């Protein structure tokens, strides 16, 4: 449905070239909700602009809904873009037009006859739960309602894919949940493929089926949510189930134990921990359901000198155990990477 192969985007700049995308391979299945995460400057927005054809790739292929976007001349690109709905952090609605007229706008551009337009607009507003706001003006709406108008407008031309760049970043948490619920519902009802760019793991947890972690324009990790969550100790697993901030006694260290409850029961996991003796203390624990999968995670405080021994014994009990790494894994710069935090390459 969406397929990127060896996608590169280089921006020439006065201080040298900026490699924004450095050989991206990515497949998003039809009807999936796919998240793209990564720290600021990782290349997320560039990736979405390449998908929409707003940005020409330096090299590589971008195939959306069977069409090779990267090879299209401008005129055909405009037609292809009609098959893609776009939603941004800040919805730019036309203030002088009513909600209905805003949603009708892309239909006017596409040359849809007036009679057909009004029925379609009514349908779209019902779909996003704004049936009663057709005659309102953008200034009379809340941020969440404006975003829903933006989504209705994006769906007007019946796109096969919905591309969202930070769609909920300007919304509070309750409105975020509502908006994400709407996007998921639309996917279920319309079978549309959704790509969501976000820096919030909560968004991924809430609606994504699959996820890609970008760093310096490269894919660091990707897969279905179930895959990345059970890839114990991986960056996305740690981010999706964050480590609590725990105080530590002298000469003590933290060991993290993770398990999928369909592989090891919590009962067996706790029995394995208890067998380690009184020197090993459970200081935190959670069981989270992500992508329909229950994942248990325990933080153990152990004598610093026994870390290796504890990990070996837990591993023998089929648990995944590793020293706890605190902090935000997407926020760490790889000291071995000469390009530094911004992903910019010196001339």
Ligand X SMILES: Nc1ncnc2c1ncn2[C@@H]1O[C@H](COP(=O)(O)OP(=O)(O)OP(=O)(O)O)[C@@H](O)[C@H]1O
Give the span between the Cα atoms of 232 and 236, in whole angstroms.
Answer: 9
Tokens (6 digits) for 178: 């509502």
Considering the complex, state which of residue 84 and residue 257 has its C-beta at the smaller distance from Mg ion: 84
Of residues 42, 149, 243, 257, which one binds ligand X by CB under 6 A? 42
Q: How far is the CB of 129 from Mg ion (least distance, A)?
A: 28
Of residues 35, 43, 53, 296, which one binds ligand X by CB under 6 A? 43
344 binds, among Mg ion, ligand X, none (CB under 5 to 8 A by kind): ligand X
Considering the complex, state which of residue 51 and residue 272 has its C-beta at the smaller distance from Mg ion: 51
Of residues 2, 4, 7, 20, which one binds ligand X by CB under 6 A? 20
Grouping H, G, I as helix, E, B as strand and the rest as coil, residue 17 is coil
40 binds, among Mg ion, ligand X, none (CB under 5 to 8 A by kind): ligand X
Q: How far is the CB of 9 from ligand X (least distance, A)?
A: 8
DSSP 65: T
Of residues 46, 52, 70, 198, which one binds ligand X by CB under 6 A? 46
> Given the DSSP bridges, would you call strands 84-88 and 2-11 parallel, antiparallel or unpaired?
unpaired
CB 5 within 8 A of CB 61: yes
Tokens (6 digits) for 295: 């994942």
Grouping H, G, I as helix, E, B as strand and the rest as coil, residue 76 is helix
DSSP assignments along 248-279, one per residue: --TTEEEEEEEEETTTS-HHHHHHHHHTT-TT
Interface contacts to Mg ion, rule CB under 5 A: 44-45
Instruction: Compute CA distances 184 → 1, 45, 97, 205, 207, whole Å.
Output: 18, 21, 28, 12, 7
Contact region for ligand X (CB under 6 A) — 12-20, 92-100, 282-290, 303-311?
Answer: 12-20
Kindly state whether residue 11 participates in binding ligand X, applying the rule CB under 6 A.
Answer: yes
Residues engaged in binding ligand X (CB under 6 A): 11, 13, 18, 20, 38, 40-46, 199, 342-344
């Amino acid at each position: 449905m969406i397929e990127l192969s060896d996608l590169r985007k280089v921006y020439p700049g006065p201080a040298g070239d900026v490699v924004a995308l450095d050989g991206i391979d990515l497949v998003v299945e039809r009807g999936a909700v796919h998240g793209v995460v990564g720290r600021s400057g990782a290349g997320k927005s560039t990736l979405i602009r390449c998908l929409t054809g707003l940005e020409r790739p330096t090299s590589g292929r971008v195939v959306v809904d069977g069409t090779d976007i990267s090879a299209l001349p401008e005129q055909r690109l405009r037609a292809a873009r009609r098959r893609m709905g776009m939603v941004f952090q800040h919805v730019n609605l036309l203030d002088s037009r009513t909600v209905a007229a805003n949603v009708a706008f892309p239909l006017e551009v596409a040359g849809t006859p007036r009679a057909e337009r009004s029925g379609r607009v009514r349908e779209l507003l019902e779909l996003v739960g704004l049936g009663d706001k057709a005659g309102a003006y953008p200034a009379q709406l809340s941020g969440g309602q404006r975003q829903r108008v933006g989504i209705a407008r994006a769906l007007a031309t019946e796109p096969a894919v919905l591309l969202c760049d930070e769609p909920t970043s300007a919304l509070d948490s309750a409105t975020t949940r509502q908006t994400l619920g709407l996007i998921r519902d639309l996917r279920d009802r319309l079978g549309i493929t959704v790509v969501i760019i976000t820096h919030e793991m909560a968004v991924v947890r809430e609606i994504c089926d699959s996820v890609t972690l970008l760093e310096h324009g490269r894919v660091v990790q990707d897969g279905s949510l179930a895959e990345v969550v059970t890839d114990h100790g991986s960056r996305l697993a740690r981010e999706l189930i964050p480590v609590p901030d725990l105080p530590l006694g002298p000469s003590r260290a933290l060991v993290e134990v993770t398990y999928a409850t369909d592989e090891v029961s919590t009962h067996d996991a706790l029995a394995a921990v208890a067998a380690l003796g009184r020197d090993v203390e459970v200081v935190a624990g959670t069981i989270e359901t992500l992508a329909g999968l229950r994942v248990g995670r325990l933080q153990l405080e152990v004598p610093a000198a026994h870390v290796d021994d504890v990990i070996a014994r837990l591993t023998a009990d089929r648990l995944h155990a590793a020293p706890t790494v605190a902090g935000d894994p997407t926020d760490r710069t790889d000291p071995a990477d000469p390009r530094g935090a911004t992903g910019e390459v010196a001339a």
